[in-house]
């Protein structure tokens, strides 16, 4: 077995690297890393492994000889690398994951991924290419629970952000590549780590901090929010990649109907902070009325960039307003355990994020 992992210095990819470490598979893994040298890339990988709870010995097991230096927007620079030869499995986590309108999204997520796949096909006989997408690429207007579908999300004008449009586009482009044993895994909302909280990354957790501080958001109190921790997500992804046979080629990696309701998350968040739940005061607000909350921003959130906060609220509020839970019966049928609910580990997320300014947390999602 010879595995290529992309995105190993990021959030989901970093958790996947830590999971491979737990399985004793790091020595059999090649890493694509943005770095000036293999040594620098190796240090970035080691640092991220430690951030995700790997032991020092596990982190030190990664060597510069396992690192391909490169970027998805410059595949030609390493397409002939001997490290791409003989691969059996690919876990492709790398992507420009942002809710901004970054002009590099398509070049990285679509063109770059396709170029990488072609380079790998030319050098290896793959058993599986696991493409990590996003469950939100299905687009709006569907009934919940949302089932896996190759057809949903194909209309460009239905997407709330360019990122989700790029992810569904590359999945279909990869399906058309001859010789690619493709399996697509679409995680739902990845927030925190089940034991490390927000220490590895504060991505998206700031949305909850903001909603609880404002006591207002776009979801109803009794709605479920489909959230999974990074470590469980990684374990599911690696399992899907390595399992010899699978019943399907498209999976939701989600909490499904096991997701917490907003009121349950509220109660757990309040208990972690030693405060009262906001439920008695909570107001559901439609997306197009979020602008009315601007006067509350500095009063409730401190000194912040009002335009950035409003933009973030409207983007995430639009996703929350969809009220989606993603069916995970296919995943569970493959023998993968259900995801731990957010309410069960939110206390650690609170503890590891309280001292981090909200705007600093937001930077992870607006690259």
229 pLDDT tier (thresholds 50, 70, 90) = very high
**pLDDT single digits (tens) 142-161:** 999 999 999 998 887 778 88
Q: Average the pLDDT over 167-180 and give the result.
A: 95
Which residue has 């909603």 as its token pair? 211
Count the domains in the chain.
Answer: 1
Would you say residue 261 lies in a domain? Answer: no
Would you say residue 8 lies in a domain? Answer: yes
> What pLDDT does residue 299 have?
86
257: DSSP letter: G
Whether pLDDT at 296 is above 90 = no
> What pLDDT does residue 241 have?
98
**pLDDT single digits (tens) 231-277:** 999 999 999 999 999 999 999 999 999 999 999 999 999 999 999 99
> What pLDDT does residue 157 have?
76
> What pLDDT does residue 121 have?
95
98 pLDDT tier (thresholds 50, 70, 90) = confident
- In the chain, which residue ranges form alpha helices assigned H by DSSP? 12-22, 38-51, 56-60, 105-106, 113-123, 162-175, 205-214, 230-242, 262-273, 297-301, 306-321, 329-333, 342-353, 358-362
Q: What is the CATH number of the domain that holds 152?
A: 3.40.50.720
Would you say residue 161 lies in a domain? Answer: yes
Would you say residue 34 lies in a domain? Answer: yes
Contact (CB, 8 A) for 217 and 225: no
Q: Domain range spanning residue 40?
A: 3-193+227-256
Q: Average the pLDDT over 181-204 and give the result.
A: 95
> What pLDDT does residue 8 have?
97
Q: Average the pLDDT over 289-293 and give the result.
A: 88
Average pLDDT, the chain: 93
C-alpha to C-alpha distances, 222 to 146, 226, 276, nearest whole angstrom? 18, 13, 18
310 pLDDT tier (thresholds 50, 70, 90) = confident
Tokens of 197: 């909280």
Comparing CA positions, the residue from 340, 112, 162, 122 lying closest to residue 236 is 340
Q: What are phi and psi of 51, to 5 degrees?
A: -65, -30
Whether pLDDT at 306 is above 90 = no
Would you say residue 331 lies in a domain? Answer: no
> What pLDDT does residue 343 have?
97
Would you say residue 364 lies in a domain? Answer: no
Would you say residue 40 lies in a domain? Answer: yes
Would you say residue 272 lies in a domain? Answer: no
Radius of gyration of the chain (CA): 20
111 pLDDT tier (thresholds 50, 70, 90) = very high
**Pairing assessment for the beta strands 89-92 and 128-132 based on DSSP bridges:** parallel
Instruction: Output b/e per residue, 71-99; b: 16+ Cβ within 10 A.
Output: bbeebeebbeeebbeebbbbbbbbbbbbb
User: Distance (Å, rounded) from C-alpha 163 to C-alpha 187?
Assistant: 14
Query: Helix (H, G, I), strand (E, B), or coil: what is residue 147?
Result: coil
């Amino acid at each position: 077995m010879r595995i290529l992992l992309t995105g190993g210095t990021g959030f989901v990819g970093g958790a996947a690297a830590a999971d491979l470490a737990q399985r004793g598979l790091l020595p059999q893994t090649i890493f694509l890393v943005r770095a000036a040298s293999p040594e620098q890339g190796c240090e970035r990988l080691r640092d991220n492994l430690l951030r995700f709870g790997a032991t020092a010995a596990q982190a030190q097991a990664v060597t510069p000889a396992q690192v391909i230096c490169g970027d998805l927007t410059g595949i030609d620079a390493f397409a002939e690398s001997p490290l791409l030869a003989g691969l059996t499995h690919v876990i492709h986590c790398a992507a420009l994951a942002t809710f901004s309108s970054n002009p590099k999204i398509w070049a990285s997520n679509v063109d770059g991924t396709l170029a990488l796949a072609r380079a790998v096909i030319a050098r290896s006989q793959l058993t599986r290419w696991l493409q990590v997408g996003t469950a939100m690429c299905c687009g709006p207007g569907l009934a919940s629970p949302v089932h896996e579908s190759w057809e949903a999300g194909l209309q460009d004008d239905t997407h709330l952000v360019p990122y989700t449009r790029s992810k569904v586009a590359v999945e279909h482009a990869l399906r058309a590549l001859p010789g690619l044993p493709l399996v697509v895994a679409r995680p739902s909302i990845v927030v925190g780590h089940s034991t490390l909280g927000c220490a590895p990354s504060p991505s998206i957790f700031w949305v909850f901090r903001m909603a609880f501080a404002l006591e207002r958001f776009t979801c109803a109190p009794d709605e479920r929010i489909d959230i999974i921790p990074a470590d469980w997500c990684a374990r599911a992804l690696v399992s899907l990649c390595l399992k010899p046979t699978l019943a399907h080629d498209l999976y939701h990696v989600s909490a499904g109907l096991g997701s917490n309701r907003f009121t349950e998350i509220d109660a757990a968040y309040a208990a972690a902070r030693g405060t009262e739940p906001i439920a008695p005061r909570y107001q559901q607000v439609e997306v197009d009325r979020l602008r009315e909350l601007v006067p509350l921003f500095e009063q409730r959130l401190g000194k912040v960039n009002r335009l950035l906060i409003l933009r973030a609220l409207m983007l995430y509020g639009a996703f929350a307003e969809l009220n989606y839970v993603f069916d995970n019966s296919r995943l569970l049928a493959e023998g993968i355990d259900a995801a731990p609910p957010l309410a069960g580990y939110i206390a650690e997320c609170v503890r590891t994020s309280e001292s981090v300014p909200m705007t600093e947390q937001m930077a992870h999602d607006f690259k």
